[in-house]
Amino acid sequence: MKNQLFQEPAPGISTMEELAALADYSFMDTLNSDPQANEYGADHDPRQVFSGHYVPVKPTPIENPEYVAHSRQFFQELGFADSLAESADFMRVFSGDLSQVPAPMRPVGWATGYALSIFGTEYIQQCPFQTGNGYGDGRAMSVLEVVMPDRNGDRNGDRNRDLNRGRRWEMQLKGGGRTPYCRGADGRAVLRSSVREFLAQEHMHALGVPTSRSLSLYVSKTEQVQRPWYSEGSRSHDPDQIVSEAVAISTRVAPSFIRVGQLELFGRRARKQEHSAALAELEQLVLHLVEREYAEVIDPGLSTPEKVVLLAREFRSRLTALVANWMRVGYCQGNFNSDNTQAGGITLDYGPFGFMEVFDPYYQPWTGGGEHFSFWNQPVAAERNFEMFCTALRPLLEGNYAARQQLDEIRNGFANAMQEEMQTMFAAKLGLASLDVDLFNELASLMLQTSVDYTLFFRELSSIPDDIGPLKKSFYRDLNEELETRWTEWLTKWKSLVTDAPSTPEEISAQMKRVNPKYSLREWLLAPAYQQAALGDYTLIRELQDVMTQPYAEQSPAIEEKYYRLKPPEVSDLGGVSHMSCSS
């Protein structure tokens, strides 16, 4: 027998039977099902859910599914064979049909409820029952968790796969049909929005921003739904027509899909004593979150109040770092409600998101989002969501004055922690050891007055140019004499700070290029991809996937010419490109 230390690399997972062997259901097995639920998952009509952590739901398969794409990089990290994505068994499961899953997989998934708060204000009005008991996963349902094997003897040298050993991943279908939380909608996602989310998740991961991941994307060859959308060339604020669009199911993956809004729901129930088990269910969910997302930093032997305080501190650290990363790459979440805030500190729910092109502090891709969710206000919106997170935890500290005081101190320290993250991030973008606030404020003023492309500017600056000539590649406007002089003076002052550092200019340039991407997923690049996909041509999706999973790399001249450029004037102000009213 071969020594285990020198055994051959384990083969990749290439069948559903092999994948099913990794299946686990910690959420369903350790938390409470809604007592009014149908255990077989036949629960597709809107109704109030009063208690329990989840509702068992059987997905509704899409008709005649066709393969569109899968994440080759993520498959490699998981040890999945690429061939698995186009196999009949895998495609059947991840297009919503659980009727023939191999054991120990289960033929039912689960959907969860959550509360809604917008910028720190609790809402129940959008709930069809006016009670708040109708909010939740209206078209998203998890179908399994997988725990990656810990193959200590595997010497394949794949660092990403090594990092996944022993990790738990939850796999969730988006567009898998109606749940009790669908509020009267059809539970479907369309190909357009599915393409956007599929590409955005993998792009964000490649940018180094914590995010849910994309696994697979399938479209129906026959099933369509109607959606409001923009006509070709429309510059309307709102969609101006109803269109039929192909339905699709994308599978997104994360350590968990527990949201701040989910904790809020159980915190509200405990605070209002809505039922006898409300406080216990809150504690169960919080402890499950700690185990799923924070086991490496929170000792399981601690008491619940001690865990709650450490959870708040760690989540604050993750959330501030996340938002600073969003700002670093020019990303705007668009609809940054608490229910769109994942409690482990990753980006979740790519609805009306956008990557800023022309620098604008008030950039907001969603016409219904308002300034409170605009690009520059994301740190404040994050603070509001963190306050709701802390409020949800407080019932678990009843009678523990010291722990409550600690929680309040952590909550009140959010703004300072956020400011520190932002200053550190912008210093890195500028190649500085610490941020010169006056220098940065002058830069922001110049970028605003000159209509500067956010991504192109910082990438060009990363080469530490001798004059402002290369920077003009990022300018949407010609400079007048005054702006030319101010830009030149700014660049001179900035270079004096950069060259005064102990590192060489070449080292600083390389460091800057590691935090300032060359490519960003611009909406005018996305639109042709999903338009072609609607005609059955997935070529552009796969090209974008290749380019946008290497956002810091110097790619071919042809790719640079096509993707590293200013937004064309002919697509300015186009509905569905420069702005959108919804995602579907």
Could you tell me the two tokens for 441? 């404020």
**Percent of the chain whose pLDDT exceeds 90:** 92
pLDDT for 151: 56
Say if CB 79 and CB 164 are below 8 A apart: yes
Task: Classify residue 114 as left (phi > 0), alpha (psi -120 to 50) or beta.
Answer: beta
pLDDT band at 161 (very low <50, low <70, confident <90, very high): low
Half-sphere CA count of 442, side-chain side, radius 13 A: 16
Residue 1 scores a pLDDT above 50 = no
Beta bridge partners of 110: 56, 142
Q: Specify the 3-state DSSP secondary structure of 403.
A: helix
Give me the pLDDT at residue 152, please.
Answer: 47
60-93: pLDDT as tens digits? 999 999 999 999 999 999 999 999 999 999 999 9
CA distances from 230 to 238, 241, 579, 582 (A): 7, 6, 10, 11
Tokens of 57: 């739901």
pLDDT greater than 80 at residue 438? yes
Distance between CA atoms of residues 27 and 202, nearest Å: 25
Helix (H) or strand (E) holding 72: helix 72-78
Residues 531, 533, 534, 537: what is their CA dihedral angle, to the nearest 10 degrees?
A: 110
Digit-coded pLDDT (tens) for 453-474: 999 999 999 999 999 999 999 9
Mean pLDDT across 104-119: 97
pLDDT band at residue 149, thresholds of 50, 70 and 90? confident
User: Which stretch of DSSP H or E encloses residue 364?
Assistant: none
Q: What is the DSSP letter of 521?
A: -
pLDDT 10s digits, 464-502: 999 999 999 999 999 999 999 999 999 999 999 998 888
Query: Binning pLDDT at 50, 70 and 90, where does residue 156 land?
Result: very low
In terms of residues, how long is the chain? 584
What does the alpha-carbon distance between residue 266 and residue 275 come to, in Å, rounded to a whole number? Answer: 11
pLDDT at 159: 53
DSSP β-bridge partners for residue 452:
475
Rounded to an integer, the average pLDDT of 148-175 is 71
Question: Which letter does DSSP use for residue 136 in this model?
Answer: B
Asked if the model's pLDDT at residue 321 lies above 70, the reply is yes
Cβ pair 39, 21 in contact under 8 A = no
Instruction: Return the active site residues.
Output: 339
DSSP state at residue 247: E
Helix segments in 394-504, DSSP class H: 401-412, 414-429, 437-450, 454-461, 481-499
User: H or E stretch including 242?
Assistant: strand 241-254
Which of 146-155, 212-221, 507-516 has the lowest average pLDDT?
A: 146-155
Res. 534: pLDDT tops 50? yes
Model pLDDT for residues 355-406, shown as the tens digit of each residue: 999 999 999 999 988 899 999 999 999 999 999 999 999 999 999 999 999 9
Residues 394-431: pLDDT tens digits?
Answer: 999 999 999 999 999 999 999 999 999 999 999 999 99
Can you list the alpha helix ranges (DSSP code H) found in 111-190? 159-164
In the predicted model, what is the mean pLDDT of the chain? Answer: 94
**Would you state the pLDDT for residue 477?**
96
Task: With a cut of 80, say whether residue 128 has pLDDT above it.
Answer: yes
Q: What percent of the chain has pLDDT over 70?
A: 96
What is d(CA 295, CA 446) in angstroms, rounded to the nearest whole number?
45
> Quick one: which of 238, 116, 111 has its CA closest to 170?
111
Question: With 90 as the cut, is the pLDDT of residue 138 above it?
Answer: yes
Work out the angle between the directed axes of helices 191-207 and 523-533 (0-180°, nearest 10): 140
CB-based burial of residue 55 (10 Å sphere; 0-12 exposed, 13-18 middle, 19+ buried)? buried
Main-chain phi, psi angles of 63, to 5 degrees:
-75, 140
Query: Mean pLDDT over residues 184-211, rounded?
Result: 97
For 583, how many CA atoms within 13 A lie in the half-sphere containing its CB?
20
**Residue 163: partners with Cβ closer than 8 Å, 6 or more residues away:** 77
Provide the pLDDT for residue 224: 98
- Write down the pLDDT at residue 158: 56
Contact of 86 with 216, CB cutoff 8 Å = no
CA distance linking residue 109 with residue 396, whole number of Å = 29
Predicted confidence at residue 160, as pLDDT, reads 58
| The pLDDT value given to residue 577 | 93
Q: Are 31 and 286 in contact (CB under 8 A)?
A: no
Neighbour-count burial for 525-555, b at 16+ CB within 10 Å, e otherwise = bbbebbbebbeeebebbeebbebbbebbeeb
The band of 582, judged by pLDDT with boundaries at 50, 70 and 90, is confident
Instruction: Give the type of residue at 435.
Output: L
